[in-house]
Amino acid sequence: MEKLIGKFKQMLSLRHLASKGVLADEDLEIIEDAGIWVKNGKIVEIGAFETLAPKAHKSHIPIEEIVSGNWVLMPSFIDCHTHICFGGNRAKDYALRIAGKTYLDIAKAGGGILDTVRKTREATFEQLYQNTQNILDKMLKNGVSTIEVKSGYGLSVAEEIKILEVIKQISSESPMTIIPTCLAAHTLPPEFSEKEFYLAHLTEELLPVLSEKKLSKRVDIFVEPSAFPMDIARKYLENAKNQGFEICIHADQFSVGGSRLAVELQALSADHLEASTAEEINLLANSSTVAVVLPGASLGLGMPFAPARQLLDAGACVAISTDYNPGSAPMGNLLLQASVLAAQEKLTTAETLAAITFRAAQALALPDRGRLETGFWADMIAFACEDYREILYWQGQMLPSILWKEGRRLF
């Protein structure tokens, strides 16, 4: 398949932007009256439509004309941290939380992660499949074309495999790129009394099966005293790396330590960071580990946002993700969350859009998407507006009208 698509009032390429640190809006490349040449799902050339169109005619390349009004084209969104394969919901937890109960209070009373574990274990493969697919359909309409999906609500070898097989089945049928991550080390399941023994069990009994069945190449762990302390988390992650897994860490959500471990072990990302101090910020800034901030969790828990501005000023690579989950972050609207975080943390448009495109791709080790650039996948969205600044201005209320995945128009 080869074609020229256009024309667009503006094209926001995001190419040439730095992978780390501060970005000014003046750094953005805005191509007016633009077109994009696509072949076999990848970008061949971008530029002025009036320059590309004669070349397409001469080569007998079809043109996919975009008509009826003004359009702004940009790379489609990448959500690099979600927990969307689950059973039931936690509306009861949310009511308790807004009435003043804390995250830990709710967990001790039988709510929290273990409540979702019970409901997920009770759910059939088909129920989990349909619920996850419904969420993915909604996120695709919101402009997300690549998404990470974690397990973590099974907490046993059999149940974690069930969840990851659901994700694998959906991935084989979905137009989206779905990156599965094993988060069996989410919290201690009720069947175990020793955290270290549970992690050793996962290392010996689960991780080899994931490799054998090709269910996941990524391993995550929730590093907190209430979940898994640093010392035993380190051993688990080292074992996972030795088995060939990429690693990421739920870090610094309520207490520090996880981000230090992420940097030490060269994890792809350290995610959450609401509790990070200047020391952790500097460690991340001087590493290759992506700092993934999750404004949906802050909104859902009523706690401060991660220090995205300070991370960028220090030189870190900052990605923004939804943390879409049934407990602390049930909203799942990436553009809305990024827009709200930008206002609160004073992020530029360039920094915000980078954080939900190519910098989010960096957290997933996907260097082939997130920019409109020669050789990249033609994953892109068009908004029905004439100025790219409207995308954040409407705070998630203006959704993309057109989405292409690998050059194929999906809606």
Q: Report the C-alpha gap between 57 and 262 in whole angstroms.
A: 52
> Token pair of 49, please?
């439509």
CB atoms closer than 10 angstroms to residue 26: 7
Tell me the average pLDDT across 187-213: 97
Tell me the average pLDDT across 99-105: 84
Above 90 in pLDDT, residue 103?
A: no
Q: Cis bond leading into 7, ω under 30°?
A: yes
DSSP H helices, 243-357, are: 258-264, 278-285, 295-301, 308-314, 334-345, 349-355
Give just the sign of the alpha carbon dihedral 163, 169, 170, 172: positive
Q: Kindly state the helix (H) or strand (E) to which residue 382 belongs, with its residue range.
A: strand 380-383
**If DSSP codes are grouped into helix, strand and coil, which group holds residue 42?**
strand
Tell me the average pLDDT across 214-240: 97
Q: Residue 147 CA to chain centroid, in angstroms?
A: 6
pLDDT of residue 110: 80
Beta strands, E only, 119-241: 144-150, 177-185, 218-222
pLDDT of residue 162: 98
Above 80 in pLDDT, residue 188?
A: yes
pLDDT of residue 7: 95
* Cβ proximity of 23 and 37 under 8 Å: no
> Tens digits of per-residue pLDDT, 105-132?
888 788 889 999 999 999 999 999 999 9
Q: What is the dihedral of CA 249, 251, 257, 259, to 10 degrees?
A: 70
Above 90 in pLDDT, residue 339?
A: yes
pLDDT of residue 173: 97
> Tens digits of per-residue pLDDT, 253-287?
999 999 999 999 999 999 999 999 999 999 999 99
Q: For the ranges 5-9, 99-103, 198-202, which has the lowest average pLDDT?
A: 99-103
Tell me the average pLDDT across 28-51: 97
> Tens digits of per-residue pLDDT, 138-162?
999 999 999 999 999 999 999 999 9
Above 80 in pLDDT, residue 85?
A: yes
Above 90 in pLDDT, residue 214?
A: yes
Above 90 in pLDDT, residue 398?
A: yes
308: left (phi over 0), alpha (psi -120 to 50) or beta: alpha
Class of residue 24 by CB neighbours under 10 A (exposed 0-12, middle 13-18, buried 19+): exposed
**Mean pLDDT over all residues of the chain?**
97
Q: Report the C-alpha gap between 253 and 273 in whole angstroms.
A: 5
Tell me the average pLDDT across 318-344: 97
Above 90 in pLDDT, residue 228?
A: yes
pTM of the model: 0.96
Above 80 in pLDDT, residue 68?
A: no
Percent of the chain surpassing pLDDT 70: 100
Give residue for tokens 């020793």. Answer: 194
> Token pair of 235, please?
């051993």
Q: Kindly state the helix (H) or strand (E) to which residue 78 belongs, with its residue range.
A: strand 77-79
Q: Report the C-alpha gap between 357 and 78 in whole angstroms.
A: 5
pLDDT of residue 154: 98
Above 80 in pLDDT, residue 42?
A: yes
